[in-house]
Chain A
């Protein structure tokens, strides 16, 4: 379905193609796109500046969430407490 869009790049189809792209961009960002979807999305963002900007922003948001949010260290007593509880209960 998406692959069909590869052959219709005329202006009239542009908006629906952009809508399709915006809805599916997450698949590309999350590595979940099928090869057809990947081909369609990569080609589209190469040719369409607004969609490329959306892609780039979303990709950056994902990276920033992953890289900037600090991991909480596990409280040192937690593992010992779990083991105690397991011994008590079972």
Chain B
């Protein structure tokens, strides 16, 4: 059975392969571009990263199983390209060793109550750019998990696959990321006079 499917796949003409590639992957370009932009925070870099992702996806198209989660597969390729090629090239000044960050924030002595005085009304008064600025101020790994979960709506299991981390780490990283985001939002609300 498996073998048959392999054979069928190999027998696809270039035109058929191109048609399937276009049908399954091109409609996802909007999400991919936005993910790339939120990772790199630069339009040209986002462009390059998305191009690279599609080229890799085409090259590895034979290992993609049709009808499975195309979006998670492409996001995983994009995330790996970003880490392996991109982050090395661009000398990101705020590059953070996230193991270190994670173990720091995973310690239980982070005060949960720090952010409880952030008011919902303050949040609702904020404009998109202000929320984006707070998100962008997070270290890239914390930013990434919030983008995947809250902007793109991936499940914990999908995020675990995209990020190559266990589900427990998805949970703890998300928890820390949200606490950090609330601190940023609260600081922002404070300077803008929203939180009074």
> Chain B residue with minimal CB distance to A82?
B54
Chain A residue total in the interface (Cβ 8 A): 33
CA distance A90 to B29 in the complex (A): 20
Give the contacts of B114-165 with A (CB-CB under 8 A): 115-116, 118, 120, 123-124, 126-129, 131-132, 135, 146, 149-151, 155-156
Contact of B128 with A75 in the complex, beta carbons under 8 Å: no
Taking CB as reference atom, which chain B residue is nearest A62? B150
Q: Is A48 close to B, CB under 8 A?
A: no
The interface residues of chain B, by DSSP majority, are classed as helix
A71–B33 CA distance with the chains assembled, in angstroms: 9
Chain B residues whose CB sits within 8 angstroms of the CB of A57 once the complex forms: 115-116, 118, 120, 182
Complex Cα distance A82/B56, Å?
11
Please give, as numbers and ranges, the residues of chain B lying within 8 Å of A30 by CB-CB distance. 149, 156, 174
Identify which of residues 14-49 in chain A touch chain B, using a CB-to-CB cut-off of 8 Å.
22-23, 26-27, 30, 32
Interchain CB contact (< 8 A) of B33 among A27, A62, A78, A85 = A78
Question: Quick one: closest B residue to A58, CB to CB?
Answer: B178
Bound-complex Cα distance A57 to B150 (A): 14
Known: A65-B151, A74-B30. A85 touches B146 (CB 8 A): no
Q: What is the size category of the interface that chain B forms with chain A?
A: 35 or more
Residues of B contacting A5 in the complex (Cβ-Cβ under 8 angstroms): none
Nearest CB in chain B to that of A88: its residue: B55
Interface pair B51/A66, CB less than 8 Å apart:
no
Given contacts A32-B156, A57-B118, contact A64 B124 (CB under 8 A): yes
How many angstroms from the CA of A61 to the CA of B55 in the assembled complex? Answer: 36
B50 an interface residue at 8 Å Cβ cutoff? yes
A86 to B55, CA, bound (A): 7
Bound-state CA distance A58–B112 (Å) is 12
Which of chain A's residues have a CB closer than 8 A to the CB of B127? 68
**Complex interface: chain A residues within 8 A of B178 (CB):** 26, 58, 61-62
**Across the interface, do A54 and B116 meet the contact criterion of CB distance under 8 Å?**
yes
A68 touches B128 (CB 8 A): yes
The residues of B that contact A86 with a CB separation of less than 8 Å are: 18, 54-55, 58
A32→B34 contact, CB < 8 A = no
Q: Any chain B CB within 8 A of the CB of A79?
A: yes
Q: Is B37 an interface residue (CB 8 A)?
A: yes
Q: How far is the CB of B150 from chain A (nearest CB, A)?
A: 4
Chain A interface residues (CB < 8 Å from chain B): 22-23, 26-27, 30, 32, 50, 53-54, 56-58, 60-62, 64-66, 68-72, 74-75, 78-79, 81-82, 85-86, 89-90
Could you list 7 examples of A-B contacts with CB < 8 Å? A27-B171, A30-B149, A60-B123, A66-B150, A68-B128, A69-B131, A70-B129
